[in-house]
A and B are shown apart, each in its own frame.
Chain A
């Protein structure tokens, strides 16, 4: 009985720790006036409207969304053929590319960011919007690579053989068997890359920081000149997007399996 109570208390403390700053931000985001106070004075959703009406915040939002959408798509485009090749063919040396795909994510982000900064500066493309998309795609290629590798590993190879015995060539098998089975992993890989790209600051800052603003860059720049409540509303907005996306993955996929719990097929 005390065991259970202690466990509950422990969970509650961790939950409180994780939630506390977000609750405070949620509180200040509904302040009526432009001051930083908690508990909030009055109630207003004006600061949420500001994300969409204020031209600066809106253009940052649009930049962030465009960046995340294209970077995640490119990351998946890199990861899918690579994961497919590693699954389909026996080529041990090709795993070097898997390592290259994971490395940018494991290294301290500042280093990857600085690598991109020197590269784009050297090649003369520094500041172009598309350089950020490519940089983010490389930075986050790990995520679809991991989910897709898991997805391919979960395909029973005899399914592919069965399709072949029934007359399907490689292309037909890819279309009718492999792709439908891999789709949930593809979508989760895209979603992970999308959410992280949306939130990413340092790589975006070092590639396009001086020419345009994404939301995280905008928040940081605003933070240096003092407080505006829109920061708080954007923060809440970001948390909501992340929770929504991961919630959807959990609803339609198996998030436990994606995060490494095996054998979750048997219920």
Chain B
């Protein structure tokens, strides 16, 4: 079958419904949000139509600066932890039998699909004083009394790594499973040990993939909106949490929208940067 260019309006028919839905319910809402970011807050309703930069001007405060800095730092940290755990894991996973791989993938997908609410609840239970992991340590005699491990930075980080880890593995999986096995075999015949071959051959061959994955996980972690709220202190709230907070609880939709636009721009800039880096490396 040849793929022909559409010739008549009739050939475009299948495109109508998807195009309509995506434009009306994605492009329009997204544009609405950008427009609202320039509106004024209306304490009685959602917003008042206007054109002001006040919402963006609010970014220029030390409070906002520290939230932004913390959000970025947390997301970077989560991305690094995830890659550090997931990369060797995924590599080893692709060397397993089909059956083992399938079982793991099913488990990973199941965890990945879990709601942030559920992950937050599960970890808050695990870190709690009454039902938490410290009870286990008390039982084996390592601790004298169970204690709560939350709220705290460690809890937030653990929860977010937990949420992002299956995502990281599944992003890395296609690249690693398609990796040419003869590459590694060649290194082995030249006398490299499996561990050395992994670091000297596999890692450099996948450098672009790793950078791309790092950015994807970073953006994913940046979008985390509940875990800092459930597992952390208010000082550990991220930009996403603030957006939710402003939109829902403070009813300040214009400011929330401005922060959201800012978050999009930042995500896009980072994705663009990755593509640029990738292209330069490929060209070089």
Give the interface of A toward B (CB within 8 A): 3, 7, 10-11, 14-15, 17-18, 20-22, 24-25, 27-28, 35-39, 74, 77-79, 81-82, 84-85, 87-91, 94, 97, 100-101, 103-104, 106-111, 113-119, 121-122, 134-135, 137-138, 141, 157-158, 160-161, 164, 195-196, 199-202, 205-206, 209, 216-217, 219-220, 223, 231-232, 235, 238-239, 242-243, 246-247, 249-250, 255-256, 259-262, 264
Contacts and interface: CB of A to CB of B under 8 A. Distances in A.
Report, nearest first, the 8 A-B pairs whose CB atoms are least far apart: A260-B174, A108-B223, A119-B29, A38-B131, A21-B122, A82-B18, A81-B14, A199-B115
B192 interface: no
Given A81-B17, A108-B263, A135-B25, A247 B113 contact: no
Given A18-B111, A21-B119, A103-B26, 16 more contacts: A3-B194, A14-B165, A20-B126, A21-B122, A81-B15, A89-B3, A101-B18, A111-B33, A111-B223, A118-B253, A161-B1, A223-B124, A231-B121, A239-B110, A255-B105, A256-B105
Interface in B73-105: 85, 88-89, 92, 98, 101-103, 105
B4 interface: yes
B236 interface: no
Contacts, number: 265
| Tier of interface size on chain B | 35 or more
- Chain B contact residues, majority secondary structure: helix
A89 B219 CA distance: 33
Contact of B17 (A10, A77, A232): A77
Interface residues of A, dominant DSSP: helix
A242 B114 contact: yes
Contacts of A135: 25
26 contacts: A15-B107, A24-B125, A38-B132, A38-B135, A74-B21, A94-B15, A104-B26, A118-B257, A122-B32, A138-B26, A158-B1, A199-B118, A201-B116, A206-B244, A216-B115, A223-B121, A235-B121, A239-B110, A242-B109, A243-B106, A246-B109, A250-B105, A250-B106, A256-B98, A260-B174, A261-B173
Contacts of A84: 14
Interface of B: 1, 3-6, 11-12, 14-15, 17-19, 21-23, 25-30, 32-33, 36, 46, 85, 88-89, 92, 98, 101-103, 105-111, 113-126, 128, 130-133, 135, 162, 165-166, 170, 173-174, 177-178, 194, 219, 222-223, 225-226, 230, 240, 243-244, 247-248, 253, 256-257, 260, 263-264, 267
Contacts of B130: 35-38
Contact of B240 (A110, A158, A201): A110
B104 to A, nearest CB: 8
B52 to A, nearest CB: 16
Contacts of A35: 130
B182 to A, nearest CB: 15
B174 A259 contact: yes
A36 B33 contact: no
A232 B125 contact: yes
B5 A91 contact: yes
Given A110-B225, A216-B115, A89 B5 contact: yes
